[in-house]
Protein backbone atom coordinates (compact mmCIF):
# COMPACT_ATOMS: atom_id res chain seq x y z
CA UNK A 1 0.00 0.00 0.00
CA UNK A 2 1.32 3.43 -0.98
CA UNK A 3 2.57 5.55 1.94
CA UNK A 4 2.37 9.32 1.49
CA UNK A 5 2.50 12.81 2.97
CA UNK A 6 0.12 15.50 1.70
CA UNK A 7 1.62 18.92 2.39
CA UNK A 8 -1.37 21.17 1.76
CA UNK A 9 -4.95 20.61 2.91
CA UNK A 10 -8.16 22.62 2.89
CA UNK A 11 -8.96 24.10 6.30
CA UNK A 12 -12.17 25.71 7.58
CA UNK A 13 -12.40 29.50 7.52
CA UNK A 14 -10.46 30.87 10.53
CA UNK A 15 -13.48 33.07 11.30
CA UNK A 16 -15.79 30.11 11.87
CA UNK A 17 -13.12 28.35 13.91
CA UNK A 18 -12.93 31.40 16.15
CA UNK A 19 -16.72 31.43 16.48
CA UNK A 20 -16.75 27.76 17.49
CA UNK A 21 -14.42 28.43 20.41
CA UNK A 22 -17.28 29.84 22.47
CA UNK A 23 -18.94 26.40 22.49
CA UNK A 24 -17.97 23.31 24.44
CA UNK A 25 -17.68 19.69 23.32
CA UNK A 26 -21.02 18.59 24.76
CA UNK A 27 -22.89 21.43 23.05
CA UNK A 28 -21.39 20.62 19.65
CA UNK A 29 -21.93 16.89 20.06
CA UNK A 30 -25.61 17.40 20.89
CA UNK A 31 -26.07 20.05 18.19
CA UNK A 32 -24.99 17.68 15.43
CA UNK A 33 -27.34 14.91 16.50
CA UNK A 34 -25.13 13.11 19.02
CA UNK A 35 -22.43 12.41 16.44
CA UNK A 36 -18.69 12.82 16.24
CA UNK A 37 -17.69 12.03 19.83
CA UNK A 38 -14.40 10.15 20.15
CA UNK A 39 -13.81 7.29 22.57
CA UNK A 40 -13.85 8.07 26.30
CA UNK A 41 -10.34 6.58 26.62
CA UNK A 42 -8.90 9.82 25.26
CA UNK A 43 -8.23 11.86 28.41
CA UNK A 44 -6.75 15.37 28.80
CA UNK A 45 -3.20 15.49 30.11
CA UNK A 46 -3.91 19.04 31.33
CA UNK A 47 -7.35 19.36 32.98
CA UNK A 48 -9.14 22.57 32.07
CA UNK A 49 -7.51 22.87 28.65
CA UNK A 50 -9.61 23.36 25.52
CA UNK A 51 -8.70 23.52 21.83
CA UNK A 52 -10.54 24.03 18.55
CA UNK A 53 -9.00 23.84 15.10
CA UNK A 54 -8.42 21.90 11.87
CA UNK A 55 -7.05 18.37 11.94
CA UNK A 56 -3.72 17.35 10.49
CA UNK A 57 -3.92 13.56 10.52
CA UNK A 58 -1.10 11.11 11.17
CA UNK A 59 -1.26 7.34 10.81
CA UNK A 60 1.73 5.57 12.38
CA UNK A 61 2.70 1.95 12.73
CA UNK A 62 2.24 0.83 16.35
CA UNK A 63 5.30 1.66 18.42
CA UNK A 64 6.88 3.88 15.75
CA UNK A 65 6.66 7.69 15.56
CA UNK A 66 8.43 8.36 12.26
CA UNK A 67 5.33 9.93 10.71
CA UNK A 68 4.82 12.30 13.64
CA UNK A 69 8.22 13.79 12.88
CA UNK A 70 7.19 14.07 9.23
CA UNK A 71 3.90 15.74 10.16
CA UNK A 72 5.58 18.54 12.09
CA UNK A 73 6.86 19.95 8.80
CA UNK A 74 3.39 20.37 7.26
CA UNK A 75 1.63 21.79 10.33
CA UNK A 76 0.43 25.39 10.31
CA UNK A 77 -0.38 27.69 13.25
CA UNK A 78 -3.69 26.74 14.81
CA UNK A 79 -3.66 23.13 13.61
CA UNK A 80 -4.47 20.14 15.82
CA UNK A 81 -2.42 17.00 15.27
CA UNK A 82 -4.62 13.88 15.28
CA UNK A 83 -2.56 10.72 15.60
CA UNK A 84 -3.56 7.08 15.37
CA UNK A 85 -1.75 3.79 14.85
CA UNK A 86 -2.02 0.66 12.75
CA UNK A 87 -2.33 -1.85 15.56
CA UNK A 88 -2.98 -1.05 19.22
CA UNK A 89 -0.31 1.02 20.96
CA UNK A 90 0.19 2.67 24.34
CA UNK A 91 3.87 3.48 23.74
CA UNK A 92 5.01 7.00 24.58
CA UNK A 93 4.93 8.26 20.99
CA UNK A 94 5.15 11.95 21.93
CA UNK A 95 7.38 13.53 24.56
CA UNK A 96 8.86 16.87 25.53
CA UNK A 97 11.02 17.29 22.43
CA UNK A 98 8.24 16.71 19.90
CA UNK A 99 5.92 18.96 21.91
CA UNK A 100 8.54 21.71 21.91
CA UNK A 101 8.75 21.42 18.11
CA UNK A 102 4.95 21.56 17.79
CA UNK A 103 4.78 24.67 19.96
CA UNK A 104 7.38 26.27 17.70
CA UNK A 105 5.10 25.55 14.70
CA UNK A 106 2.09 27.09 16.46
CA UNK A 107 0.17 23.82 16.79
CA UNK A 108 -2.71 24.10 19.31
CA UNK A 109 -2.63 20.58 20.66
CA UNK A 110 -2.63 16.84 19.99
CA UNK A 111 -5.24 14.09 19.99
CA UNK A 112 -3.48 10.72 20.08
CA UNK A 113 -5.01 7.27 20.19
CA UNK A 114 -1.84 5.92 21.78
CA UNK A 115 0.49 6.96 24.60
CA UNK A 116 2.64 9.94 25.51
CA UNK A 117 5.47 10.43 27.98
CA UNK A 118 7.25 13.32 29.73
CA UNK A 119 3.86 14.26 31.16
CA UNK A 120 5.24 16.57 33.85
CA UNK A 121 7.32 18.54 31.34
CA UNK A 122 4.40 18.75 28.91
CA UNK A 123 2.20 20.15 31.68
CA UNK A 124 4.87 22.71 32.48
CA UNK A 125 4.91 23.72 28.81
CA UNK A 126 1.12 24.07 28.97
CA UNK A 127 0.59 22.07 25.78
CA UNK A 128 -2.86 20.40 25.52
CA UNK A 129 -2.89 16.69 24.70
CA UNK A 130 -5.68 14.12 24.84
CA UNK A 131 -4.19 10.62 24.94
CA UNK A 132 -5.07 7.01 25.66
CA UNK A 133 -2.16 6.43 28.03
CA UNK A 134 0.85 7.95 29.76
CA UNK A 135 3.63 5.41 29.47
CA UNK A 136 7.42 5.67 29.23
CA UNK A 137 7.87 2.89 26.67
CA UNK A 138 9.86 4.31 23.76
CA UNK A 139 9.33 4.03 20.02
CA UNK A 140 11.30 3.41 16.84
CA UNK A 141 11.53 5.78 13.87
CA UNK A 142 11.82 3.36 10.95
CA UNK A 143 8.29 2.48 9.76
CA UNK A 144 6.41 4.54 7.21
CA UNK A 145 2.76 5.57 7.41
CA UNK A 146 0.64 8.50 6.28
CA UNK A 147 0.26 12.22 6.91
CA UNK A 148 -3.02 13.85 5.91
CA UNK A 149 -4.79 10.65 4.96
CA UNK A 150 -8.17 9.62 6.40
CA UNK A 151 -7.58 8.17 9.87
CA UNK A 152 -9.63 6.38 12.52
CA UNK A 153 -8.96 7.99 15.89
CA UNK A 154 -11.00 7.24 19.00
CA UNK A 155 -13.45 5.25 16.89
CA UNK A 156 -14.20 8.19 14.57
CA UNK A 157 -13.03 8.74 10.99
CA UNK A 158 -11.04 11.96 10.76
CA UNK A 159 -10.24 13.58 7.43
CA UNK A 160 -7.62 16.31 7.01
CA UNK A 161 -9.15 19.70 7.68
CA UNK A 162 -12.07 18.42 9.76
CA UNK A 163 -12.78 20.58 12.80
CA UNK A 164 -11.63 19.13 16.12
CA UNK A 165 -12.80 20.35 19.53
CA UNK A 166 -11.54 19.02 22.86
CA UNK A 167 -12.07 19.91 26.51
CA UNK A 168 -12.61 18.18 29.85
CA UNK A 169 -15.68 16.39 28.44
CA UNK A 170 -13.75 14.69 25.63
CA UNK A 171 -13.07 15.15 21.92
CA UNK A 172 -15.60 15.80 19.16
CA UNK A 173 -15.24 16.09 15.38
CA UNK A 174 -17.22 18.25 12.96
CA UNK A 175 -16.86 17.33 9.29
CA UNK A 176 -15.38 20.25 7.38
CA UNK A 177 -18.31 20.39 4.95
CA UNK A 178 -20.78 20.60 7.87
CA UNK A 179 -19.04 23.29 9.92
CA UNK A 180 -21.39 26.16 9.04
CA UNK A 181 -24.55 24.11 9.63
CA UNK A 182 -23.34 22.71 12.97
CA UNK A 183 -22.30 26.18 14.10
CA UNK A 184 -25.84 27.51 13.61
CA UNK A 185 -27.32 24.49 15.39
CA UNK A 186 -24.93 24.94 18.32
CA UNK A 187 -25.76 28.64 18.50
CA UNK A 188 -29.48 27.83 18.73
CA UNK A 189 -28.80 25.24 21.41
CA UNK A 190 -26.89 27.77 23.52
CA UNK A 191 -29.78 30.23 23.28
CA UNK A 192 -32.22 27.52 24.29
CA UNK A 193 -30.07 26.55 27.29
CA UNK A 194 -29.98 30.17 28.41
CA UNK A 195 -33.77 30.08 28.50
CA UNK A 196 -33.67 26.84 30.49
CA UNK A 197 -31.29 28.37 33.02
CA UNK A 198 -33.75 31.24 33.54
CA UNK A 199 -36.55 28.74 34.21
CA UNK A 200 -34.40 26.95 36.79
CA UNK A 201 -33.50 30.27 38.41
CA UNK A 202 -37.23 31.04 38.66
CA UNK A 203 -37.81 27.79 40.53
CA UNK A 204 -39.40 25.82 37.70
CA UNK A 205 -38.81 22.06 37.70
CA UNK A 206 -37.32 20.19 34.76
CA UNK A 207 -40.02 17.55 35.24
CA UNK A 208 -42.49 20.20 34.14
CA UNK A 209 -40.73 22.21 31.43
CA UNK A 210 -39.46 19.01 29.77
CA UNK A 211 -42.92 17.39 30.16
CA UNK A 212 -41.32 14.42 31.93
CA UNK A 213 -44.29 13.67 34.18
CA UNK A 214 -46.00 12.07 31.18
CA UNK A 215 -42.99 9.82 30.65
CA UNK A 216 -42.99 8.78 34.31
CA UNK A 217 -46.67 7.88 33.99
CA UNK A 218 -46.07 5.86 30.82
CA UNK A 219 -43.30 3.99 32.64
CA UNK A 220 -45.73 3.23 35.49
CA UNK A 221 -43.70 5.12 38.08
CA UNK A 222 -45.78 5.54 41.27
CA UNK A 223 -45.57 8.36 43.84
CA UNK A 224 -45.81 7.62 47.60
CA UNK A 225 -45.54 10.00 50.54
CA UNK A 226 -43.15 7.69 52.41
CA UNK A 227 -41.65 4.20 52.49
CA UNK A 228 -44.38 2.79 54.75
CA UNK A 229 -47.09 3.91 52.33
CA UNK A 230 -45.16 2.34 49.47
CA UNK A 231 -44.85 -0.98 51.26
CA UNK A 232 -48.56 -1.00 52.08
CA UNK A 233 -49.32 -0.16 48.48
CA UNK A 234 -47.31 -3.11 47.24
CA UNK A 235 -49.00 -5.43 49.76
CA UNK A 236 -52.36 -4.56 48.22
CA UNK A 237 -51.23 -5.61 44.75
Are the CB atoms for 115 and 93 separated by under 8 Å? yes
CA 135, 144, 59, 110 torsion: positive or negative? positive
**What's the CA gap between 105 and 72, in Å, rounded?**
7
Is 19 marked within a binding site?
no
Q: Is 53 helix (H, G, I), strand (E, B) or coil?
A: strand
Is 97 marked within a binding site?
yes
Going by the DSSP 8-state scheme, the letter that residue 78 receives in this structure is T
Q: Helix, strand, coil % (nearest 5) of the chain? A: 35, 25, 40
Q: Is 81 helix (H, G, I), strand (E, B) or coil?
A: strand
Is 96 marked within a binding site?
yes
Is 72 marked within a binding site?
no
Is 117 marked within a binding site?
yes
Are the CB atoms for 171 and 154 separated by under 8 Å? yes
Output the known binding site: 95-98, 117-118
Output the known binding site for substrate: 95-98, 117
Output the known binding site for Mg(2+): 118
Amino acid sequence: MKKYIIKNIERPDPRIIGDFKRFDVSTVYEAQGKRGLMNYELKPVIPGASICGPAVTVVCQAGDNLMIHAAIEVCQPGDILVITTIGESISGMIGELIVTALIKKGVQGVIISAGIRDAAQIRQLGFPIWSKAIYSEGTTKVKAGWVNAPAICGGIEVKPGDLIMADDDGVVLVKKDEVEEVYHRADKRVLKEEGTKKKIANGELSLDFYNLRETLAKENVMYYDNKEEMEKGYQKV
